[in-house]
Amino acid sequence: FTFPSLLVLLLALTTVIVFLKSDLTNWLRLQDQNPCACEKCLSEDNLLALHRLNHSVEPFLTANTNVSADAFRWWKRLQHEQRDFNYYKSTVHKLFKLFPPVVDYGEPSSDSCRTCAVVGNSANLKGSHYGSLIDYQDVVMRMNTAPIKNYESDVGTKTTHRVMYPESAMDLDNSTHLVLFPFKINDLKWVIQAFTTGFYGRSYAPIKSKIKANKNLVMVVNPAFMRYVHEIWLKKKGDYPSTGFMALILALHICDEVSVFGYGADNDGNWSHYFETLKRKNFKTGPHPGKHEYALIHELAQNKTIRLYKGW
């Protein structure tokens, strides 16, 4: 090598080293960054160790969601749906003529920590005095028609998301999300007609013909997500997951930090509600694998994936 060519080679090598060092520094800085501003984020390896969380499964239906024929066949067996896949798809098409075509539930951010309270209906909430702790969370999910009035000190007053299906529907204020868990095509038809013409179909329980709620805050859970909870989380135990368990897994997908209240049986082992007097002893969880679900919730708490408040 002549001196000029050696000098050019040394300059080129120096430039490459500087760029590589810069890239390595940026990569290391990214590794140090938390995906959220919480003390511990859900996307960290405490969940990955469970081999269950799958962010590729869309929690909510959108105008562009492609539910597979296999997922539809699983879903249609839940409550003996007789209509076919094409009828389902045409109903979903009508759904997104009325409701927002995309659900915006936010992405994790390194400068924010979205905390969520998932509030079940267990009698163990009685006398818990969890109300202020529940209200402190950014997102508060409640189930079905669970009342707040007269129970404020134990269950709080704040609701950002109300999980329901047609047989458990209730009117909402203008700032609360209606989170629909559909178990059959009629449930999809109900949410359309309850906001428009009124629903007059039949079911195993009375159904509200019309509902008061903000149609821009309607969120419909993806049938494929329901199947994923049953097959991946519950290993196909029970006929299908309970609404409460699916709501909890939903929270793991949309929240940075999850606190769980009002889950599990009461002190006598009965699955009773905080707002009801149990008339029938040995009340169980029907087609849902209640004990197995609660064991998984306890496992999540032991892994510090969630905070579980057991009540009394």
Q: What is the pLDDT of residues 4-19, one digit of tens each?
A: 565 555 565 565 454 4
Looking at residue 42, what is its pLDDT? Answer: 62
240 is catalytic: yes
- Binding-site residue ranges for substrate: 79, 121, 144, 204, 240, 244, 264, 273, 288
Give the domain 36-309 fold. sialyltransferase cstii, chain A (3.90.1480)
Residue given tokens 């032991």 in the structure block: 302
The catalytic position among 240, 263, 274, 294 is 240
CA distance 123 to 231: 28
Residues 44-78 have pLDDT tens digits of 555 544 567 777 889 999 999 999 999 999 999 99
Residues 136-179 have pLDDT tens digits of 999 999 999 999 999 999 999 999 999 999 999 999 999 999 99
Taking the whole predicted model, whether its pTM rises above 0.85 is answered as: no
The catalytic position among 177, 274, 288, 294 is 288
- Binding-site residue ranges: 79, 121, 144, 204, 240, 244, 264, 273, 288
Average confidence score pLDDT of the chain: 85
Looking at residue 32, what is its pLDDT? Answer: 46
CA-derived radius of gyration, the chain: 24
What would the 3-class secondary structure string for the chain be? CCHHHHHHHHHHHHHHHHHHHHHHHHHHHHHHCCCCCCCCCCCCHHHHCCCCCCCCCCCECCCCCCCCHHHHHHHHCCCCCCCCHHHHHHHHHHHHHHCCCCCCCCCCCCCCCCEEEEECCEHHHCCCCCHHHHHCCCEEEEECCCCCCCCHHHHCCCCCEEEECHHHCCCCCCCCEEEECCCCHHHHHHHHHCCCCCCCCCCCCCCCCCCCCCHHHEEEECHHHHHHHHHHHCCCCCCCCCHHHHHHHHHHHHCCEEEEECCCCCCCCCCCECCCCCCCCCCCCCCCCHHHHHHHHHHHHHCCCEEEECCC
Instruction: Assess contact for 271 and 284: CB atoms under 8 A.
Output: yes
The pLDDT > 70 percentage for the chain reads 78
288 is catalytic: yes
Looking at residue 290, what is its pLDDT? Answer: 77
Residues 112-138 have pLDDT tens digits of 789 999 999 999 999 999 999 999 999
Residues 91-115 have pLDDT tens digits of 999 999 999 998 876 665 666 789 9
Q: pLDDT tier at 40 (50, 70, 90 boundaries)?
A: low
Scored b (16 or more CB within 10 A) or e, 4-34 reads eeeeeeeeeeeeeeeeeeeeeeeeeeeeeeb
| Domain regions of the chain by residue span | 1-32, 36-309
Residues 77-92 have pLDDT tens digits of 999 999 999 999 999 9
